[in-house]
């Protein structure tokens, strides 16, 4: 399985090192948020890696809903039971919950399908900051704190009409930003495509906090910083 380099598992305990999390963010998701860098002050494991690990362990269901409840730090021991009900949680060894999962419909555990689904989704997710969030901030003339550019991954869900596919891709079809004071709730709607036909739909939600009036120069600085991290990784 292509996820093998990015985690270790002993019995029911899954462990992701900071290096594994950082490698996944950059190499698989093209996500260069510095919060995923080894040694980052507020380091956290990418939510997309947790999502991928759930599919790897429990299979791909027609309908799945993921609610992210906490950021996983370095050294956290996550508990992945061998079998679960249609609703379950991913918690640590101290029973702190990081992810709630709901599933329904038919299920497959095909490595080819799961890898395609994960790669397509996390690649789509990795493009969100520069290609979706920054233009939305400009449109609404509000922006996150450039000194601490933190965007919280809140939830993700999808509904597959069929599981009859090998490869799947994602297409963004709608984006909304609702601002309440200093909080911005982002909703991204997407279609899942296989051989140019729609095989499902999905929604991802994010929270932007600490919003302030938009400043073009500082927004451009955030983009430049993000791109510099990408170039440094590619050069290495």
CA-CA distance, 66 to 72, in Å (whole number)?
A: 15
Q: What is the mean pLDDT of residues 214-230?
A: 93
What is the pLDDT at residue 69? Answer: 95
Domain count, the chain: 1
What is the pLDDT at residue 72? Answer: 95
Q: What is the mean pLDDT of residues 105-121?
A: 95
- What global pTM score does this model have? 0.93
Q: What is the pLDDT of residues 176-211, one digit of tens each?
A: 999 999 999 999 999 999 999 999 999 999 999 999
Q: What is the pLDDT of residues 39-97, one digit of tens each?
A: 988 899 999 999 999 999 999 999 999 999 999 998 899 999 988 899 999 999 899 99
Q: Given a cut of 90, is residue 170 above it in pLDDT?
A: yes
- Top pLDDT among 170 and 148 is at 170
175 burial level (CB within 10 Å; 0-12, 13-18, 19+) = middle
What is the pLDDT at residue 14? Answer: 96
* Residues facing 157 on adjacent strands: 65, 203
Q: Given a cut of 80, is residue 1 above it in pLDDT?
A: no
State whether residue 184 is helix, strand or coil: strand
139 burial level (CB within 10 Å; 0-12, 13-18, 19+) = exposed
The CATH number covering residue 57 comes to: 3.10.129
CA-CA distance, 129 to 201, in Å (whole number)?
A: 21
Domain housing 36? 4-235
* CA-atom Rg of the chain in angstroms: 18
CA-CA distance, 112 to 2, in Å (whole number)?
A: 10
Q: Categorize the per-residue pLDDT at 235 as very low, low, confident or very high, splitting at 50, 70 and 90.
A: confident
Portion of the chain with pLDDT greater than 90, in percent: 79
CA-CA distance, 194 to 171, in Å (whole number)?
A: 11
Q: What is the pLDDT of residues 114-161, one digit of tens each?
A: 999 999 999 988 888 889 999 999 999 999 998 887 788 999 999 999
Start-end of H helices in 5-156: 18-23, 47-58, 111-126, 128, 134-140
């Amino acid at each position: 399985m292509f996820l093998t380099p990015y985690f270790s598992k002993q019995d029911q305990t899954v462990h992701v090192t900071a290096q594994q999390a950082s490698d996944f963010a950059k190499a698989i998701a093209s996500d260069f948020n510095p919060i995923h860098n080894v040694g980052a002050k507020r380091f956290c494991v990418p939510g997309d890696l947790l999502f991928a690990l759930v599919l790897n362990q429990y299979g791909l269901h027609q309908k799945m809903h993921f609610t992210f409840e906490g950021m996983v730090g370095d050294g956290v021991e996550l508990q992945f039971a061998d079998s679960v009900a249609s609703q379950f949680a991913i918690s640590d060894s101290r029973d702190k919950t990081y992810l709630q999962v709901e599933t329904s419909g038919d299920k497959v555990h095909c490595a080819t399908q799961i890898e395609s689904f994960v790669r397509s989704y996390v690649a789509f997710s990795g493009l969100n900051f520069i290609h979706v969030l920054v233009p939305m901030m400009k449109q609404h003339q509000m922006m996150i704190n450039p000194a601490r550019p933190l965007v919280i991954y809140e939830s993700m869900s999808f509904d597959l009409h069929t599981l009859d596919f090998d490869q799947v891709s994602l297409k963004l079809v709608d984006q909304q930003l609702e601002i309440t004071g200093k909080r911005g709730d982002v909703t991204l709607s997407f279609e899942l495509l296989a051989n140019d036909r729609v095989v499902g739909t999905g929604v991802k939600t994010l929270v932007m906090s600490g919003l302030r009036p938009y400043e073009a120069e500082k927004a451009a600085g955030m983009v430049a910083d993000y791109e510099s991290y990408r170039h440094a990784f590619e050069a290495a």
